Amino acid sequence: MSPSLQVTDTLLTGCSRTLRQAVSFLLGKQHRDGYWWADLTADTTLESDFIVLELWRHPPVNGVWNPPSRERIQKAVRSILARQLPDGGFNIYAQGPSEISACVKAYTALKLAGLAYDDPSLARLRERILALGGLQAANSYVKVNLSLFGLYPREHAPSIPVEGMLLGRLIYEMSSWTRAIVIPLAIVDALNTGRPAPAGFTVDELRAPGVPLSFPNDEGFFSWRNFFLLADRTLKFWERHGSKALRRLAIRRAEKWMLERTRYSDGVAAIYPPMMYVIMALDLLGYSKGHPHVVEAEQQFFNLLVDDERGFFFQPCFSVVWDTGIAAYALGESGQAPDHALARSTDWLLTKEIRRRGDWSVKRPNVEPSGWYFELANEFYPDIDDTAQVLLALARSRGSDPVKQDACMRRAVDWLLAMQSKDGGWAAFDVDNNWEFLSSVPFADHNAMLDPTCPDITGRVLEGLSACGVKRDHSAIRRGVEFLKRTQEQDGSWYGRWGVDYVYGTFLALRGLEAAGENNREAYILRAGEWLRSIQNGDGGWGESCESYDRGTFVAAASTPSQTAWAVLGLLASGDSTSDSVHKGVEYLMETQRADGGWDEALATGTGFPRVFYLQYHYYRHSFPVLALACYLKAKGAPGADRK
């Protein structure tokens, strides 16, 4: 036997063993009801916002702030300080630099919680904030939150006009998450007359000397940005002198919209920011603390809190459907998971299919509801990405009721086809959500005002539709392929909106193109494979920093199991199963596997809002290597690679 064949046989044997251990580990994490559910973690801004929310919920008495949640607040303080960087600041992703908005939020929270002005941690943080441009450089949501307590001048914080509720379908031209944040916040903005801060409390020391508080505008006079800045000044005049009756009508509509979306959901949009603002809005609308709406809103919010041996932190939301879809798909591909385990996950996923109309139906009124959300309950917001991922899982397993499963999958396929945008791609929640000028409004600097189509979701949808029998010559498949061809970067990669970043986008685009029947000898696919090989780390793995979003190009980082798995999957989809890059990537996964069959991963590889908010999915490091190793063995024709 030649040395190269010996190496291949050794690699396949080791890969099979690694896969068996990984499958066993992942199966051990399955809940008895059939799902997988890992923690979803982010940065310190959630704990910082919690402390500010407690100031809202428990105002000072005679200028003294002594909330009943003092013990919990001190836990939040310790959690925040544990992540302070050597330069005194706070970052928004592991190993990233200090970020101004996270720093200002932390400073406000820590000082509110009782840290003295001259406390070393606070002093270093203050110095770092001023070096980063001061309070003036923070984003609009920081300024709005501070203005609620008179800690930032109201005239220099953006207005959130509740009258937008009266402008027809305008709110549905914002992304679903922006809509969910802005509507309860607009109620707060309209009704708040100034909440008290503790006597003498201020953050004026964070203002950079000589820097104006006014909104920055670097787009010139004849620009959408300047138009919206002028509109903001008009709105502030309207707030003082406009029709009170019209404002009351808008508030009632906003209240109705908000309360409707608390039904069949774990909070509005089931994500942290809207849930926080709903608590504030209900307070200003006059609901008593014991009212069922208030009790439910607070319970849903505090359900996001983890306070046990894992630490003290808030999750931005729950990722249970997403975690389950990925894990079940990977195990189904492995060919090594027991039928009963996959049947349990299938049966559970079928219970989570959406059968009610949500915001998406405003633009698709005649489409039968289906699809899956990301969380435990979020009926108004089926997620296109989740739906495609769940379909991939369901296509690899059979539940206890095949007839029900087949009907569900047909509905979900039809829903996905209906949710294709005009440009041929798919977005996260909406269709044709691309009014780019809205990104110039003053409160749009969370970098996610819109929900445009993106290569990563489009690739996954193509794969999901193909797995469910949609033919390669179907017009939706062909339009999706053309979208991916148009959106490929010059270097051969694809942008990843929902995962970090170009490695994520490229792997999903390539898998979608493979599923759609594209010839892997096409020049554009060969370019993508060459790009993946060119960015491989010396240790055989792949890693990419969140900094890629800031620079608009790939930025290398230490290798991670999830990104290595993505790169291997991308190369396999491009037709490469024999290169040294693929072999070294597989070896990296083998060598870094823990004794218990899982992997370690310290870096954030998930994306919430690019350049603003990142996520660490704690099962990515386990599920994606299972999928990569299984697909590698299948590509090599190894025994047991296909599911029986």
Q: Is 365 a residue whose pLDDT tops 90?
A: yes
Q: What is the architecture, at CATH level 2, of domain 45-311?
A: Alpha/alpha barrel (1.50)
Tell me the longest C-alpha to C-alpha distance in the chain.
88
Averaged over 589-612, what is the pLDDT?
97
**pLDDT tens, position by position, 187-214:** 999 999 889 999 999 999 999 999 998 7
Report the CATH number of the 3-41+317-348+399-419+454-635 domain. 1.50.10.20
**pLDDT tens, position by position, 154-191:** 999 999 999 999 999 999 999 999 999 999 999 999 99
User: pLDDT band for position 47 (50/70/90)?
Assistant: very high
Catalytic residues: 385
User: Which pLDDT belongs to residue 1?
Assistant: 36
What residues does 556 pair with on adjacent strands?
Answer: 544
What is the DSSP annotation of 518-584? Answer: --TTSHHHHHHHHHHHHT--TTS---B-THHHHHTS--B----HHHHHHHHHHHHHTT-SSSHHHHH
User: Which pLDDT belongs to residue 418?
Assistant: 98
User: Which pLDDT belongs to residue 191?
Assistant: 96
Q: Do domains 3-41+317-348+399-419+454-635 and 45-311 have the same CATH topology?
A: yes
Report the interhelical angle of 455-467 vs 502-515 (nearest 10°).
Answer: 30
User: Which pLDDT belongs to residue 219?
Assistant: 60
User: Which pLDDT belongs to residue 226?
Assistant: 75
User: Which pLDDT belongs to residue 593?
Assistant: 98
Q: Is 217 a residue whose pLDDT tops 70?
A: no
Average pLDDT, the chain: 95
Distance CA 109, CA 49 (A): 7
Q: Where are the alpha helices (DSSP H) in 58-153?
A: 70-81, 100-112, 120-131, 140-147
- Indicate the helix (H) or strand (E) that contains 442: none
- Specify the residue for token string 């599923």: 515
| Cβ 135 vs Cβ 208: under 8 Å | yes
Q: Which long-range contacts (CB under 8 A, 24 or more apart) does 557-560 make?
A: 557/95, 557/603, 558/603, 559/588, 559/592, 560/601, 560/603, 560/605, 560/621
Distance CA 262, CA 391 (A): 27
Distance CA 200, CA 89 (A): 24
User: pLDDT band for position 639 (50/70/90)?
Assistant: low
Sequence-distant (6+) residues with CB within 8 A of 233 are none
| Cβ 23 vs Cβ 628: under 8 Å | no
Distance CA 242, CA 110 (A): 38
Cβ of 102: how many Cβ atoms within 10 Å? Answer: 25
Domain spans in the chain, listed from the N-terminal domain onward: 3-41+317-348+399-419+454-635, 45-311
Enter the DSSP assignment of 196: P
